Amino acid sequence: MTTGFSVETTRAIDVARSHTIGGLLRRTALRSPDKTAVVNGDTTLTFAEFDDAVNRCANALTARGLGKGDRLALVSHNCWQFAVLNFAVARLGAILVPINFGLGVDEIAFILSHSGSRIVVSEDALTETVGAAVDASSGGDAVRGVINLAGGTTAGWEDVASWIAHDDASVPDVLVEDDDPVRMMFTSGTESRPKGVLLSSKSLVPQYVSCIIDGGMSADDIEVHSLPLYHCAQLDCFLSVDVYLGATSIILPSPEPAALLAAIETHRATKLFCPPTVWISLLRHPDFDTRDLSSLKKGYYGASPMPVEVLREMSRRLPDVRLWNFYGQTEMSPLATILQPHEQIERAGSAGRASLNVETHVVDDEDNPVPTGEVGEIVHRSPHACLGYFNDEEKTAAAFRNGWFHSGDLGIIDADGYLSVVDRKKDMIKTGGENVASREVEEAIYLLDGVAEVAVFGVPHPKWIEAVTAVIVSKDGVELTEDDVNAHLEGVLAGYKRPKYVIFADALPKNPSGKILKKDLRTAHAAVASQD
């Protein structure tokens, strides 16, 4: 439909109707300027101060050449500066590229090259690795910014503190459309190389609404954020939602159990998200029974199902905490389905039902709905869905074929509409909340001389939920050891991607067509962790 309005009038209407990530903080700052927004160590910011810092940082980035559609890569542990950069980049209509701080030089260099990042920001402890990655990438002339968490200076890197103290605190005059990309999240998924998932405000804001409504979130929440902000889960199911609502965020650099328990007590936190591995680490820590955790009322988990025994233990030891299970993936911004507090024990292991703004089905290989109770691929329709994969028409078309986003996960939906995830369609492993592509690990192991065949898969683990496991067949006349494999992978793959168990075999099980039967391997080695 054409409105018949002039260009000037149309732009004025677009500005007035804008509902973007950059605008959420501004609106909250207007509603609750003096309320505490962020606490990180010795730094406390009200929403007014947070908003001011975002404007100053955005204007400093503009002065350094960052414009609408440009990319800024960020490699850092959690800190308040991460939150400022997230909103500053969005306010310019630029695209934030958060990068896993556990990746190696080659892995980071690939992401920098593929994303075409014009500015690269690193925390000071990581500048050696990140600097080498910048040099090895196609963007060696990128502006380099450093977050000096240790309080020092780094030669050749601009201090992000000077950006946040920029003298221009005005709101940037940039029209950002609701469907302009504001984030490029890299996920290994099931491929050997990570894909750049493009998210817009139109993807993220409806996802925030689903989190708020189905996740029981409110402006009264005080939440501890300890899981990495480079993940969609912590950044977009929790931190950004808290900013949207006007809740208070306590930022920790990592989910170290003692510090996490202390933060809950000190700040009287009411809300906490952790994958099952971290909840288990809290329950097992000696401080658990000595800290006052009575303020905690809402708990969230994801990345993998919570073991029933742990659910029961949590209900005994944290009787006032209601639990939600969030299931999804980066391409869904990331929430897709939710299991509610009253369903935890009765439907343990379930991923719940589609959240407010999501439609979820299970289909066969021809995208026909499968009967109730039968296994198929999990697909979604939702405004949560991403814009596609950056510069990858083929994978985007495949993921969105027939007007559904194809998750790559296999699941069952029962007669009541509850989803159970039963397998990964292409053998993705979720270990400690991280996604590991088995193919990527296999390809790295194949580079070791003497390897004839290898299969990588996940096995149940009491701490990591799934542990990366490799079964290797050596070439005739070659005797490889676990130490050989570990030494080879050191520096090639991030630590969480390297196998926790290396097993040598004479052959791998295969079907008549020659396909390796990973299901058989998972069954055969399911108890390997219990031997530790």
pLDDT average, residue stretch 267-285: 92
The reported pLDDT for the residue numbered 154 is: 84
φ, ψ of residue 473 in degrees (nearest 5): -110, 120
Please say if the pLDDT value at position 379 is more than 60.
yes
Within this chain, do residues 342 and 483 fall inside the same structural domain, yes or no?
A: no
Strand order across the beta sheet in which 143-147 lies: 158-159, 143-147, 119-123, 71-75, 95-98, 181-187, 195-200, 388-389
Compute the C-alpha angle 135/137/139, nearest 5°: 85
Please say if the pLDDT value at position 514 is more than 70.
no
Q: Could you give the number of structural domains in the chain? A: 2
Q: What CATH number does the domain containing 509 carry?
A: 3.30.300.30
Percent of the chain exceeding pLDDT 70 equals 97
Are the beta carbons of 501 and 460 closer than 8 angstroms? no
Amino acid 306 reads: M
Please say if the pLDDT value at position 368 is more than 90.
yes
pLDDT average, residue stretch 26-46: 98
Within this chain, do residues 335 and 469 fall inside the same structural domain, yes or no?
A: no
Are the beta carbons of 251 and 225 closer than 8 angstroms? yes
Within this chain, do residues 435 and 333 fall inside the same structural domain, yes or no?
A: no
Are the beta carbons of 318 and 294 closer than 8 angstroms? no
Q: How far apart are CA 461 and CA 385, in angstroms?
A: 31
Cis peptide bond upstream of 276, omega within 30: no
Are the beta carbons of 195 and 12 closer than 8 angstroms? no
- Domain-embedded: residue 445: yes
- Domain-embedded: residue 43: yes
Q: What CATH number does the domain containing 239 carry?
A: 3.40.50.12780
Within this chain, do residues 338 and 241 fall inside the same structural domain, yes or no?
A: yes
Which of 355, 378, 410 is at the close of a domain? 410
**Half-sphere CA count of 421, side-chain side, radius 13 A:** 31
Within this chain, do residues 196 and 161 fall inside the same structural domain, yes or no?
A: yes
Within this chain, do residues 126 and 81 fall inside the same structural domain, yes or no?
A: yes
pLDDT average, residue stretch 517-524: 88
Coil, strand, or helix at residue 502?
strand
Please say if the pLDDT value at position 522 is more than 80.
yes
- Domain-embedded: residue 20: yes
- Domain-embedded: residue 371: yes
pLDDT average, residue stretch 267-295: 94
- Domain-embedded: residue 124: yes
Write the pLDDT tens digit of every residue in 57-87: 999 999 999 999 999 999 999 999 999 999 9
The reported pLDDT for the residue numbered 188 is: 61
Q: How far is CA 384 from the centre of its chain?
A: 15
The reported pLDDT for the residue numbered 230 is: 94
Please say if the pLDDT value at position 277 is more than 90.
no
Write the pLDDT tens digit of every residue in 395-432: 999 999 999 999 988 889 999 999 998 766 666 788 88
Closest to 96 in 3D by CA, of 200, 176, 244: 200
The reported pLDDT for the residue numbered 513 is: 43
Which of 384, 410, 436 is at the close of a domain? 410
**Half-sphere CA count of 237, side-chain side, radius 13 A:** 35
pLDDT tier at 191 (50, 70, 90 boundaries)?
A: very low
pTM: 0.84
The reported pLDDT for the residue numbered 153 is: 74
Within this chain, do residues 210 and 329 fall inside the same structural domain, yes or no?
A: yes
Structure tokens at 41: 């160590």
Within this chain, do residues 466 and 400 fall inside the same structural domain, yes or no?
A: no
Within this chain, do residues 300 and 193 fall inside the same structural domain, yes or no?
A: yes
Within this chain, do residues 170 and 49 fall inside the same structural domain, yes or no?
A: yes
φ, ψ of residue 322 in degrees (nearest 5): -90, 140
| DSSP per residue, 270-291 | -EEE--HHHHHHHHHSGGGGTS
Q: How far apart are CA 52 and CA 246, in angstroms?
A: 16
- Domain-embedded: residue 419: no
Within this chain, do residues 280 and 391 fall inside the same structural domain, yes or no?
A: yes
Q: How far apart are CA 406 and CA 362, in angstroms?
A: 10
Domain of residue 443, residue span: 428-531
Residue with tokens 């400022």: 84
Which of 381, 410, 439 is at the close of a domain? 410
Within this chain, do residues 301 and 244 fall inside the same structural domain, yes or no?
A: yes
- Domain-embedded: residue 95: yes
What mean pLDDT is reported for the chain?
93
- Domain-embedded: residue 466: yes
